[in-house]
Amino acid sequence: MERYEPSLPQEINQGSQQAARPHRSWKLGQRAAQGTLVLLLCAGGFLSLFPLGRAFTRSALLLPALLTASEPPPLAAAGDAIRFTRLTLFPNTSRTVDLDIYEPATPPPPIPGGREVIIDVPGAGDQRSLGQLVNLSQSLAREGIIDVNVGTPELFDYRVSAQEGQAVVQAFELMERWPGVNPRHIGIITFSVGSLLAYDAAADPRIRDKVAFVGTLGGYADVTTLLRTMGTRSQDINGQTQRWEPIATTPYVLYRSVGYLFSPADQKLLQKAFPFSIGFPPPLPAAQVARLSPAGAAYYHLLEGDQAGNVNRNLAALSPSLKALFAQLSPLSVISQIRAPIHLLHERSDPAVPYSQDVEMAAALARLHHPYDLAAYTIFEHVVVNLKSSLNQTLSDGSKLLGVLTSIMLVGS
């Protein structure tokens, strides 16, 4: 006998299914909202409670200030008030040390406690009032970091000296005792030829085990290979030769830093050949070049770049005292003594210091198994942000810069 099972009319069954759909949609929406809330809470906790998250957050706030060379409204509104102090140190030497200190005017937060310090070494010349440097210092201070710009009479006068690293050491030791500072969270960043001061200080036995990091933008590695690049007007990048044309400031600094080793007659002619100017002056007349000493003539041709085929001969003709000084002025001579990780940043087409210098530094650090990273940029003009960079350049280089900033911010986060 067949079993009879009554069924609902088709219209009623379809109505029940349609009534259930809004309920299921509401349930799914509720679960999606709950999942989103959990993700937001986790992200907020990571960004605020974990060191890496705090470092990323601070870097994300700083990045627009660096790319636009001005403080963005969120940073200016939410950041700390700033206190500025200008100090001159008179150590037990004939040199003075000038410090511009930008620091938050508020007490350090309970987490992480003591503040991070960045000791900042600008390049040759007195750059203390340069708009982008002031913006960088103020932006760092608004993010809770003490920024200390270090200057010396030698650097202000466009001269690089092997003794100037002592100025950075003295600034470092002062900041170790500065109120509200965590002495284990002090790093050094530097621009252009100021890199020598940073490397020399980071290698100094008094502080080398305390330096949290070294960061360089547009730095150099070795004076002799820099002179070779000057002499040939070309640079070697991973086995490929590329044309390179320097700006007039480069030979000016290279002459002023070693000029005292030449005779007064040589100095007079070399000063005429490489003055402080925007562009290169006309070459010296042949009769004046003939009056230079053999070493003076060799140095002239290297800086002038008019004897590309004789670079090796001109380098060999330099005096032993010059060659010894080149070794003292070369950061490569001290990197084996540095303990801190090193961040190398460089513009690919840098006309002041060739990109090949940091490629050479990176290769040397790799041979030493020293922790480092090298990032090439197109948004800089030597050490100044190019505000006319394209959107693609800004996005590409901005992501790399964010990674470097996060590493630096992590020290004090």
Domain ranges of the chain: 51-222+330-410, 224-327
Q: What is the C-alpha separation between 270 and 322, in angstroms, rounded?
A: 15
Q: What is the C-alpha separation between 406 and 413, in angstroms, rounded?
A: 10
Rg of the chain, C-alpha, whole Å: 29
Query: If you average pLDDT over residues 364-380, what whole number do you get?
Result: 94
User: 78 pLDDT exceeds 70?
Assistant: no
Cβ contacts of 39 within 8 Å, gap of 6 or more:
none
Query: Residue 151 — φ and ψ, nearest 5°?
Result: -135, 155
3-state secondary structure 213-262: EEEEECCCCCHHHHHHHHHHCEEEECCEEEECCCCCHHHHHHHHCCHHHC
pTM, whole model, 2 decimals?
0.83
Mean pLDDT over all residues of the chain? 86
Neighbouring-strand partners of residue 411: none
* Per-residue model confidence (pLDDT) at position 338: 98
Instruction: Report how far apart, in Å, the C-alpha atoms of 350 and of each of 223, 353, 356, 382 are.
Output: 16, 6, 10, 5
CATH number for the domain running over 51-222+330-410: 3.40.50.1820
* Per-residue model confidence (pLDDT) at position 19: 53
Q: What's the helix, strand, coil split of the chain in %, to 5?
A: 50, 15, 30
User: 187 pLDDT exceeds 50?
Assistant: yes
* Per-residue model confidence (pLDDT) at position 23: 57
Q: What is the C-alpha separation between 205 and 202, in angstroms, rounded?
A: 8
* Per-residue model confidence (pLDDT) at position 45: 43
Q: What is the C-alpha separation between 404 and 343, in angstroms, rounded?
A: 7
Neighbouring-strand partners of residue 188: 119, 214
pLDDT band for position 36 (50/70/90)?
A: very low
Query: If you average pLDDT over residues 249-263, what whole number do you get?
Result: 96
Q: What is the C-alpha separation between 198 and 387, in angstroms, rounded?
A: 27
Q: What is the C-alpha separation between 107 and 113, in angstroms, rounded?
A: 9
More confident position, 122 or 55: 122
Instruction: Report how far apart, in Å, the C-alpha atoms of 274 and of each of 235, 302, 320 are.
Output: 21, 12, 23
pLDDT band for position 188 (50/70/90)?
A: very high
